[in-house]
Each structure stands twice: as C-alpha cells, then as structure tokens.
Chains A and B, each alone.
Chain A
Amino acid sequence: MQRVIIIIIIKSENVRKTFHGLTLIFPKSAESESLASKYAYDEWLVSRFLEYVPRVEDFLSKMERLPTQYIRVNTLKTSRQELENRLRSKGFELRNTIMPEVLAVNKAPLATGATTEYLLGLYYIQDLGSCLAVDALGVAEGQAVLDVAAAPGGKTTFIAQKMNNTGSIIALEPNGRRARSMSFNIMRCGVYNTSIFRMDGLQASKFEMKFDRVLLDAPCSCEGVIAKDITRKTSHTPQDVDYCSRMQDKLIEIAARCVKPSGILLYSTCSFAPEENEMVIDRLLQKSGNITVEPVRHGSRGGLTKFGDWTFDHQLKNALRLYPHIDDTTGFFIARLRVN
C-alpha cells in the first residue's frame, strides 16, 4: 500500500518544527546530536525525548539496562505469602512494590518463566506498568468487561483475578497465533470468566452489548520498551508514530461507544509519544463532549498539557506517565476516562 506523508514546515519563535503526518519533529541541537551519538539512537527520537521525557540522559542510560522483572501473584490460585515462600526457598530474591499483588524479582536462580510455579499458573510475568493499568480500570466482581486488544492476556488474566472469576470478560484478538497463546495463558491461570473472539477492535461496535469497563491497551510504536528491544533505537520511525496515532484514534472512538453510561474506558500504551497518548485523548474529548479524565491512583507524573505548539485539555494532567528511570517500569501511559 502506498503511503503519502505530508511534510509541513512551520516557523514559530525561530524554532523550525517539521511534521511527518501527525508526528512532530524538532530541530537538531548540539545536545540531541551528542546524546543520540552516545547512546546510538536516531537523532529525531532524542530531540523529541528532550521535549517530553524528564532527565533525558538518566532515561537513556536506564534504557541500556534490562528492565526490572516483575511477577504478578495469581490470587485465583495462591496467596502472595505462599508464593513468596516457595520462590524464596528456590533461591529467588523478591521485593515488594506499590501493588500488593506484584513482586519485583531481584535475583532469579533459574528462568522465571520455567519454574513449576509458573507452569502451574501461580504467577504471571508482567510489568508493573501493565498491572497499574489494570488497577486503574477499577473492576468489581460481576461486571462486564471488554478488552479490546487483549493478547497475550496479562491484563485480561489480572482483570479476571480482580473480578474473582465472576462476571464476564470479552477479549478481542484478531491474530490466530496470538489468540492461541492467550488461550494458553487463560488456561494456565485458571480463568473461566473470559471468552476470546478473533476479531479486530475496529469491529467491536458490532456487539449489541455495552460494558461496565472497557480496556484499550492500544497497539503502539512501543517507545517505552526500547530497553527490551534496542533495535527500536534506529528502526523506529516518525511514520510509525503517525500510523499508530491514526489507528489509535479509530480504536478509541469505537471503544468509547462500547461503554455503558457512567462506565470507564481505560486507555493505555507502552509509548511516550504524545501523538499516541495525550493527542488521542484530546481529540476524543473534543469530539465527544461527554467524557472526563479521572485521576489515576499511584500517579506521580501526569499527562502533558502542552507539546510543541499544541495544547491539550487541562484534564490530561489526570492521566499517568510512567518512566523507566523514575518509576522503574517500562514506559507507559494510562488514562482513565469516564463516559457520561
């Protein structure tokens, strides 16, 4: 498919900014060139980080190291204490996090994904940021939940756990291989309140059902997980951000239509790019007029209300940005939207 990229150059206060589609590119600076060279990134990416990531060099340095590994206790099958005792007896060193169900793995004498406890579904390897997104969704027993882009099922199985295997979760995943992988995780975790549909999130409005909670962990450019895949330092392009942003716009509109009155839509990505986060929410707020952004628990850094020449709805400060060098998670953006 041929793609057309519109490049517009605007002049403002002697700063030349370029748009690749929706993606804002900032002019090179000595700092951006030096950091890009030192940490082997494409310069355009670092010049953007300088605009929205606090303490950029700390961040780039942190991305050179593997992220902290977290495990989420599957309380459908065990208790935290019991799991801690079992893993400690095998030589694991664990520490507490801000979430009672989540433990950080300081030392693992064997692969965390190959222990008997893992195979029996007593825990799930899941980043703290991902768990915080589920926490922000605020599910209760007996509710109806839609998980729009569900595979591999980390968030889905955590939602099931928080609902104590009651109510219903409809999980959408168009890709057959990923749906299969997700079904394994559901079986391993002993989840029985979930049904997987091989369906694109864009088709979700076909459902006659409305949901108390809708989770849209949107497909994104994955800027937040560069530490896990360093090829993204140079393979990531402005076109990726542009493509994802447009896709996210469509998905969030459809997801919002699936929410019951007064229900919650939780939007998250593992990207830092404002075009994939604040900008998507801002456009939805402008279009809908009946959606509010509610504060997210555990939040220390809110969403942006300004980026380049753009200003976003002031409610976006209620969103949550998670940074690897500050929060010790992968990069994450979380916004909790009340659909009135």
Chain B
Amino acid sequence: MICRQPAREERTQINRALGRWGAFEFFKHKPLIIQEVGTKKKIVCLVTGDIEKAIQVMEDPYSAGLAIGELKKQFIPSIAGADLFARYGRRNKYYITVGEKAENLVLYGRDIMGESIEAASDALDENELVIVLNTAFEAIAVGRTRFAGRSLFQKGRVTVSTIADAGYYLREEG
C-alpha cells in the first residue's frame, strides 16, 4: 500500500469536502495523507505528524492513521470521518437526524424511511450525501438523499439510502 501527500488538486477536493461538512477549521493544521489501494482506490487518512514521519522511514504500512473518507469523483466520508465531522464540525444542511427506532435499523445497514427522519434541511437536494445523526447528534451513518426538501419526510418510502453505517464493523467481523 502506498502512502503519499495529497496532490494539489486532491487537497483542494478534500478541503472543499471538509468545508461542506463544516469541519475545515478542525482539520486545518492536521496532516492528511492519501493511501492508495490497488490502482484506483484513494483513501484519505488523518494522521499525526509523527506517524507521517514514521511511515516515510518504514515502508508499506497496512494502514496509517484514521481513514476519514475516500476520494472518488466526490469525497465520500467513512463512518470514522463522519464521526469526526459531527463531533468537531458545524452542523449544517448536510446533516439529518433520525429517531431512536430508526437508529437501530440504520445500524443494521437499513435504508431510512421518511417517517424516521426527525430533522432535515428544506434546502437539501436529491442525490446529496448526508451524515445521519442519532438524537444525541452522533454520526451513525452516511447516506444519500433520494428526494429533495420536504419530500424527505414522506411516509412509507425510503427517502435516504444508507451507504455506510457504524454497524458495519460488527457485521464484517462477525
């Protein structure tokens, strides 16, 4: 696995994403590296300065720091990244909140029904990436909206697809 500094355009893309999630300030002075997996996958990892130096000396790590997301056409946050954004970022329209019952379903990887959403911005568009919070404002999933604005609350329909959730660790290990 290759670890390297982000190229300028990658850094721009990451900064834009951090801004989107209201977390730019938190990450401003923190080292981020790119882990290349195979030929296509580019994982963005938060590291300490000491880890950044250490992996220059010790080659070929299996992992380095905390994978906060993946760079595709868009930056897709991982659950660990979403957790940091929700914890240290400013919540904005890209965060939605679900109730307790839905929380348990989301943690099993289920998509989100309209009636489960407790709070979402009217300004959200269709096909937007969102961080899904529980009522304690903790990130439990990353999702993608299927509808825009008030339509997200419509009953009896899946309105947000879950693309990653915190239950993943348990399901994968089990």
Contact = CB atoms under 8 A, between A and B. Distances in A.
B61 A197 contact: yes
A142 B170 CA distance: 31
Contacts of A198: 62
Nearest to B59: A197
Interface string A175-194: 00001010111111011111
Interface residues of B, number: 37
A119 B65 contact: no
Interface in A114-153: 114, 116, 118-121, 142, 144
B79 A184 contact: no
Given A119-B166, A181-B173, A184-B169, A167 B50 contact: yes
Contact of B57 (A121, A165, A208): A208
Contacts of B74: none
A206 to B, nearest CB: 9
A186 B78 CA distance: 13
B48 A197 contact: no
B30 to A, nearest CB: 8
A167 B50 CA distance: 5
Contacts of B51: 168, 192-195
Contacts of B166: 116, 119-120, 188
A186 B67 CA distance: 10
B167 A119 contact: yes
B172 interface: yes
Contact of A209 (B58, B61, B134): B58
Contacts of B87: 77
A166 interface: yes
Interface in B130-173: 134, 138, 140, 166-167, 169-170, 172-173
A209 B48 contact: no
Majority DSSP secondary structure for residues of A touching B: mixed
Contacts of B46: 192
A188 B80 CA distance: 7
A166 B48 contact: yes
Most chain B CB atoms below 10 A, which of A116, A190, A191, A195: A195
B17 interface: no
B58 A193 contact: no
Contacts of B80: 187-188, 190
Contacts of B55: 195
B60 A197 contact: yes
A170 interface: yes
A207 B87 CA distance: 36
Nearest to B51: A168
Contact of A179 (B62, B134, B172): B62
A142 B67 CA distance: 21
B119 interface: no
B62 A187 contact: no
B134 A187 contact: no
Contacts of A168: 48, 50-51, 53-54
B96 interface: no
Nearest to A163: B48
Nearest to A144: B50
Given A192-B65, A192-B66, A197-B60, A119 B170 contact: yes
A192 B61 contact: no
Interface string A95-121: 000000000000000000110101111
A252 interface: no
22 contacts: A113-B170, A114-B170, A119-B140, A120-B140, A166-B50, A168-B48, A168-B53, A179-B62, A179-B63, A184-B173, A187-B78, A188-B166, A190-B66, A190-B80, A190-B83, A192-B45, A192-B47, A195-B47, A195-B54, A195-B63, A195-B65, A196-B61
Interface of A: 77, 113-114, 116, 118-121, 142, 144, 165-168, 170, 173, 179, 181, 183-188, 190-198, 207-209
The 10 closest A-B pairs by CB, nearest first: A192-B66, A168-B50, A187-B80, A119-B166, A196-B62, A192-B65, A184-B169, A195-B64, A193-B48, A192-B46
Interface of B: 45-48, 50-51, 53-55, 57-58, 60-67, 78-80, 83-84, 87, 103-104, 107, 134, 138, 140, 166-167, 169-170, 172-173
Given A168-B48, A184-B169, A184-B172, 17 more contacts: A113-B170, A120-B140, A121-B83, A142-B50, A166-B50, A168-B54, A179-B63, A185-B169, A186-B63, A190-B83, A192-B46, A192-B47, A192-B48, A193-B51, A195-B54, A195-B63, A207-B58
